[in-house]
Amino acid sequence: MAGIAAWTGSGPHARAKSRFIYKYGNNLPTSHPLNRRAREAADRIRKETAGELDIRIFPSNQLGGDTGMLNQLRAGAIEFFTPSSLAIATLVPSAAINAVGFAFRDYNAVWAAMDGDLGGFIAAQIEKAGLHMMPRVWDNGFRQITTSRRPILSPADLAGVKIRVPVSQIPISLFRTLGGTPTGMQFSEVYTALQTHIVDGQENPLPIIDTAKLYEVQTYVSQTNHIWDGYLFVANGAAWYRLPKDMRKIAESAFNELCMAQRADIAALNVSVRAALSARHMTFVDPDPAPFKKKLIERGFYRQWRERFGDVAWRHLERYVGRLA
């Protein structure tokens, strides 16, 4: 970590002698709302604790890829990390229950679930793994497919398409079932892999396609909305409970409030980014989700994942999205 400067520390209390200096790593560029709002939260926490809790942000995979950061979080080498639902699944499989393909249709259902029993279920699973999750889940977004050669309009178009997905079982299973050729890869490798055509495409929400400049190396966007993905604000359990109670309260309320602002940022971007990316010469298509879902049902995707997640997790999900298969 030598030579890496945190993206923080310019506030009025930055030079106060802090009792707790905690590191927070993530995989996104500083221009993404997750980082902008997390920085506001860290500034506010520093101020409200009179500089005693100083959270230093390391964005853009400075501390390594998701797998590395998850290991560092468990070991206590970093105190905070925001894995996406897909990334946390490598450690807490049931925490990715919201990432079942084509489960959520819109944000009303997403936030009802994540701020309700489904989110509570996920938080409890994470706590059991020795970590602690802030109650509010931040927005990554609905994932969309980008490609370089041709747009994806139906599952048949995925045949022979090498598509990068996060290192996680569920998106690998999803794209394999749909007939594509998925490759699990850390986000830190994605831009170069697309640029050098190691893969033909990838899938991510529009705000990431924009802030990570994937439009420079991709041509088509297929708005499949195939997975709704969140960012879980997770702390190392021991490090979290080491903080005095009043400090935890300050931190949790700052994270929760700035999370709501971050969700609003993403909602605004969901409206504006399509035009911005079109202006950068990306071509958008809006496939009908029905044939994708049909193929998943026919090939037993939901049956298989129901078994893997277990009935309890599955019931929590179906309460918000209806019967899946």
Interface residues with ligand X2X (CB under 6 A)? 27, 84, 86-87, 140, 166, 187, 204, 208
Which residue in 137, 139, 133, 163 sits closest to 149, CA to CA? 163
Distance (Å, whole) CA 103 – CA 108? 13
Report in angstroms how near the CB of residue 244 gets to ligand X2X at its nearest. 31
Nearer to ligand X2X, 45 or 70 (CB): 70
Compute and round to an integer the Cα radius of gyration of the chain.
19
CB of 151 to ligand X2X, least distance (A): 20
Closest separation in Å from C-beta 167 to ligand X2X: 8
Query: What is the rounded distance in angstroms from the CA atom of residue 142 to the CA atom of residue 221?
Result: 13
- Minimal distance in Å, beta carbon 223 to ligand X2X? 16
Give whichever of 87 and 317 is closer to ligand X2X, judged by the CB atom. 87
Query: CB of residue 130 vs ligand X2X: minimum separation in angstroms?
Result: 21
* Cβ 166 to ligand X2X shortest distance, Å: 4
Strand ranges for 151-279 from DSSP E? 162-165, 181-184, 201-204, 220-222, 228-231, 234-236
Minimum CB–partner distance for residue 297 and ligand X2X (Å): 25
In the bound state with ligand X2X, the residue whose beta carbon lies nearer, of 11 and 65, is 65
Closest by CA to 139, choosing from 49, 238, 37, is 37
CA-CA distance, 99 to 230, in Å (whole number)? 9
323 CB contacts (<8 Å, ≥6 apart)? none
**Tally of residues, the chain:** 325
Q: Which residue, 119 or 141, is less far from ligand X2X as judged by CB?
A: 141
Compare residues 71 and 253 and give the one whose CB is closer to ligand X2X: 71
Residue 133: strand pairing partners: 234
Residue 18 or 173: the one with the smaller Cβ distance to ligand X2X is: 173
Furthest-apart CA atoms within the chain: distance in Å: 61
Q: With respect to ligand X2X, which residue has the nearer C-beta, 169 or 253?
A: 169
Residue 56 contacts residue 22 (beta carbons within 8 Å): yes
The answer to whether 140 and 269 are in contact (CB under 8 A) is no
